[in-house]
Chains A and B, each alone.
Chain A
Amino acid sequence: MTTLRKPPVKRRGALGWLRANLFSSWGNALASVAAVTLLAYLGGELALWMLSQAHWGPVWANLKLFAVYRYPAELLWRPFAASAVVLLLLGVTAGVGRRSGESIAGGVFWWFFALCAGLTLVGAVAWPVARWGWLAASLAGLLGYGAGRLRPRLARALPWSWGASLLVVVVLLNGFGADGALRSVSTKEWGGFMLTLILSIVGIAISFPLGIALALGRRSKLPVIRGVCVGFIEIVRGAPLIMWLFIASLMVPLVLNVSPNAVGPLSRAMVAVTLFSAAYMAENVRGGLQAVPKGQYEAAQALGLSGWQRTRLIVLPQALRAVIPAIVGQAIALFKDTSLVFIVGLFDFFNVGNIVANQNASLLIPGGVRLELSLFLAVVYWFFAYRMSVASRQLERQLGVGER
């Protein structure tokens, strides 16, 4: 016996998609309508405000403060040269080889390149002193990419080039001697987004070996070493970074037994950021160490490798490979957390936003420009953090973490 049934609902085409994804039930339809209304209202209000009411003048007028704070204007070529060096190496990294890392490095490179090119355009319109700097950085990037493409053998020089670039960047920014084109610039004049990047990169770079050492110490069979490492990791992780920054600003001169002016705020912040990051890094690396199967240890022992050789050649490479996404996640967290260095009196990107907001508080514009500045800060931080999290997800997929 058969009953007459309605034909099945069409599931293809735009209408079918709408039906399946937005209007599959009464509740869903209601939710869709509510969401569309909300989005249209908020989006409309925001767009209207941004175009008609917002005052973006203070943002444009203070681009140099946001970028480098009080770095001497006549020496601005040095930060640009530093960015050019980094972009050049990034270009070479993206250009060489067809190995697994290529697509991710390529993504990061093209994205940075687009940023620099965009800033060149911005410079042409509203930031005349920076125009040529950004152009040079973009060209350096293209040059590097071309070189990498044409000469894949450059790949062998990459590891030590990246290491050397760190030194070059530091020398370029800090300088030496009393005068001349490369005269030294006090770290008190560093700031803005440059400082944010320096703090995050140096923090991650130094805390990486420290973290590995701490993680190995925590996994050690020797109780004294293990106890000290566990104590350090747990105490540091137990309190927030802002507290460690504050304590560093109080205690570093006391611990070194020098006058408070002898240690600049940047060094104090660097100590706190690095130790804090190292404790978290240690926990990440420990996760990787625990993920290495026991058979690997035993096989290494059976081959007659010493403890050190076993760790260096067998365990660590596998452990670190497994935790690269977690380390990128930590780099994102550290990048965001550098905004807390306001507590030691540094003027990083976030704190420059605060001073610009205070300068413009109801002087010319009633109510000030705090909303505009908050949005500007949020968008810039978001841009970098989001790109890193995309790269981290790509890495995760490529390494097949969680699939093995």
Chain B
Amino acid sequence: MSELRWNPLLGEWLATATERQERTFLPPADYCPLCPTKPGAFETEVPEPTYDVVVFENKFPSLRRDPPTPAVEASDLYPVRPAQGVCEVVLYSPDHDATLAGLPARQYLKLILAWTDRYKALSALDFVKYIFIFENKGKEIGVTLSHPHGQIYAYPFVPPVIQRELNQSLRHHEATGECLLCDIMQREIEDGRRIIFQTDHFVAYLPFFARWPYEVHILPKRHLQSFLDFNEAEQIDLALAMKQLLVAYDAVFHKSMPYMMNIHQAPVDGMPYDYYHFHIEFYPPLRQADKLKYLAGSETGAGVFINDTLAEEKAEELRNLVKPAEW
């Protein structure tokens, strides 16, 4: 059973998806459903012996193209709607033990091209209003499959975090005539203390307002709203920038860094979002090699993050770990 239930207290939708209780949980490598299907071996989701980049619809989706009728009745206080949308899985590599950080930069470019294609294709569905491309990496985040992969959720509404960013960006634009994230990027470049690196077309910085010790945002220097606005040079440059950051992350604690990667783009609901700015936010949950930053009472119950570190110090630490990227 699945449906969207309205939370009148916070003014936002949540999805119920009871089938997801049955999804595969950390299977042994021989039974990974995201590996290619080898002759005579376990049949995985991918019916061929190898692949480069693959995208398929999630077997245990929170949102479906043809959702079931909600299991509960709606009311004035509690609106309910079908959980219509699309949930896709993006396989980064046929190598079960690979991580994105360990893949060459050219593989990132392939992903960027595939993400762009999916953004364009899913935006054509009339029930889709927002396309969220993301990766949960590492058991610390709660991943159920360790094979290198990301996900795409095509929501039938604009998610609340994105909506807050849009509201703030519009408010800033109306007050100043400028883009909020262009102004933030300019301020970070002028200050310099939180810059991790710059490329020809992108800036990576640990924001002044970081909520996680090693949170990093990557922004295009040009004012872009989505992958559809990228030119070829920017696609290649983003591939190199992402590779640089993830390699630096793995050097922090000399182990594969868990993280959430969240790609924030303009909604696809037909409204103008010229005032918004594409960016990628990375949230590694570790504050020390063996200590997680938990989202406890203040963060979850009140929405106030407590960061145990100084952004300026962590940015310097990360900056010193950035190495040249190989194509």
The finding on whether chains A and B are genuine partners in a shared complex, rather than unrelated, reads no
